[in-house]
Amino acid sequence: MPFEKAKCYIDYTSPGTAHVYGIENFIVSFRTSYQQVEIADTALFGRLLILDGKVQSAESDEYIYHEALVHPAMLMHQTPRRVLVIGGGEGATLREVLKHPSVEELVMVDLDKEVVENCMQHLQAWHQGSFNDSRVTLHFMDAREYLENEKGLFDIIISDVPEPVEQGPALKLFTVQYFNLIKTRLTSEGLVALQAGDTSMPFVESHSAIHNTIRQTMPFVKPYRSFVPSYNTEWGFILAAPRSDELPGAFEFNRLVESRKLNLKYFDGETSQGMFATPKDLRKVLEEEKTVIDDEQVLPIY
């Protein structure tokens, strides 16, 4: 289709920049009580999930994002049995967690039931039936309310929610109070992994603030990143634990992947070396960052 006749979706990544996606067809477009939702088909990236104007994941490369988010933390725990996923409406985070044979219970807490129901219906390639697994329990509620009332502990907590945009639904899921709460819900060997925003210059403000905030609560904090083509950037993640720890090397990651018989398209030991290698300019920003995201003073990013 000629470009001038194509339907385009513009994802404004900042007040001065945007990504433009050629849209073949909109599957759904509606507003829930919490956010604007679109699911659309594109020629280049396949199907997209878009929340509040931001592309969350694309059919062609969601495996990069979800394998990067899930497997470092899962592999660093010897036998992850009880896992909590916060957000993750597409169901792909569930899919990756369930690949680990030791998992006995997987709890997912998402605020927006309408988003999850539409993902169940229209994003089967993402979840691959994971919502129907007998180990999965769904709760549609505020994640902080759930954590405040749930007294059980988790081996792994994975936070897969949008960035802390002012007035967004994930506003207080990146604050120092929230990470302190997360820490109290982890077992002694537990770990937390979270998506943590763009790591490319000059859009690193959110990532560096999240990184510095979680450093106030836990001694082991490792930032990492992966290039996601549909985002057209190096996307950031953070791995953390309430104890001192060491990151496995390439050989150990490969041994763990093989021992658990994981069928992965993106993550392995060699991939991990690039993911956790932070370039000098980004290290400097992270080392100098002073911002701490607080319940009373959230990060006003675009």
Residue 16 has a pLDDT of 84
**pLDDT band at residue 172 using 50, 70 and 90 as cut-offs:** confident
**Residue 100 CA: distances (Å) to CA of 63, 65, 83, 252, 276:** 16, 17, 11, 16, 22
Rounded average pLDDT over 108-137: 98
Residue 299 has a pLDDT of 59
Residue 47 has a pLDDT of 98
Mean pLDDT for all residues in the chain: 93
Domains (range + CATH), the chain: 7-58 (2.30.140.10), 62-288 (3.40.50.150)
**pLDDT band at residue 167 using 50, 70 and 90 as cut-offs:** low
- Over 80: is that where the pLDDT of 3 sits? no
**Residue 284 CA: distances (Å) to CA of 18, 166, 209, 294:** 26, 26, 13, 23
Tell me, yes or no, if 41 is annotated catalytic: no
**pLDDT band at residue 162 using 50, 70 and 90 as cut-offs:** confident
CA distance 216 to 60: 36
Which backbone phi and psi does 171 adopt, to 5 degrees? Answer: -50, -45
Q: Which of 160, 198, 281, 294 is catalytic?
A: 160
Task: Say what percent of the chain tops pLDDT 70.
Answer: 94
Residue 164 has a pLDDT of 72
Cβ atoms 45, 58 nearer than 8 A: yes
